[in-house]
Amino acid sequence: MTLASDSYYMFLRWMKKLVRNPILLFFSLFQPIIFLVLFTQLFSSFGLLLGGINYTIFATAGIVLQNAFSSAFQSGTAVVDDIKSGFLTKMLATPASRASILLGRLLSDAFRVFAQSLIILVLAYGLGVFPVTGFIGYVLILFTVAFFGLAWSGISLALGLRTKSAETVFGIAGTLTFPLLFMSTALMDKRLMPEWMKNVSAYNPISFAVNAIRDLIINGYNWNSFLLSFGVISLIAILTMGATIYEFRKVVS
């Protein structure tokens, strides 16, 4: 058995488990769809303050990333379930690569975020949102969102491995999700924010990713924004994956 094949089977295991829980799939998509359909209509008048830009087009980038942000935090609760059910102990008794247990989980997270984001973008297309960068723009958007979800899921995994408590993971996730989301450029232009919030959003990692995606939708290719976004996401990935690997080694030892 190799790391690649072991990771593939772990990936399949997580995907089968997800498909067998359609309620989780539905409600993980429910919130971003509500944001896309209702929230954008409620605040459609903000388009006048944004220079006449359709607010649905403006907010789609933030809604897509918000979905990735929220979905990534479900990883930790799944790991807690595996620890409490004894599945992780059984896997450690097999010849399977230890790294594949984490890698399979991370790949399934990235794929889930990719698929959910694709659904949201299709719905957004029905509302008149189409990237000026065309098909290539869609590919870059989905890749950016999946990479962001992969990097952010490391926080959830590290918390789950550390606390072994699904309630704690959900509590911390809720505490982090909405303040970071609303103190970013995800749903509001930086020019319309209070001064102190502008300063926070300037260093908020969500803002970097959202700005890159929004440029692909509205302005076209802005490689400086795109590369800066990937630099920030890569830094997050290094930090979160490092914490996850550290906590995982403590658990398996």
pLDDT of residue 231: 94
| Distance of alpha carbon 152 from alpha carbon 71, whole angstroms | 9
What lies within 8 Å, CB to CB, of 139 at 6+ separation is: none
* Number of domains the chain contains: 1
Q: What is the pLDDT of residue 48?
A: 66
The answer on pLDDT for 1 being more than 60 is no
- pLDDT of 27 > 70? The answer is no
Which tens digits make up the pLDDT trace of 62-88?
989 888 877 777 777 778 787 787 777
Burial degree of 42 (CB within 10 A; 0-12, 13-18, 19+) = exposed
Question: What mean pLDDT is predicted for residues 100-117?
Answer: 83
Amino acid in position 225: S
Q: Which amino acid appears at position 212 of this protein?
A: A
What would the two tokens of residue 197 be?
């919030």
Residues 174-186 have pLDDT tens digits of 787 778 888 898 8
Residue 220 CA to residue 14 CA, distance in Å, equals 36
> Which whole number is the average pLDDT over 105-113?
83
70 in Cβ contact with 195 (< 8 Å): no
Considering only CA atoms, give the Rg of the chain.
19
**8 Å CB contact between 7 and 103:** yes
Asked whether the CA dihedral 149, 123, 33, 11 is positive or negative, the reply is: negative
Q: Is the pLDDT of residue 229 over 90?
A: yes
Q: Which two tokens stand for residue 206?
A: 């969500």
pTM of the model: 0.87
Q: Please check whether residue 160 is in contact with residue 169, taking contact to mean a CB–CB distance below 8 angstroms.
A: yes
Residues in the chain: 253
**Are the C-beta atoms of residues 192 and 113 closer than 8 Å to each other?**
no
Question: pLDDT tens-digit profile of 130-147?
Answer: 999 999 999 999 999 989
Range of the domain at 117: 3-252
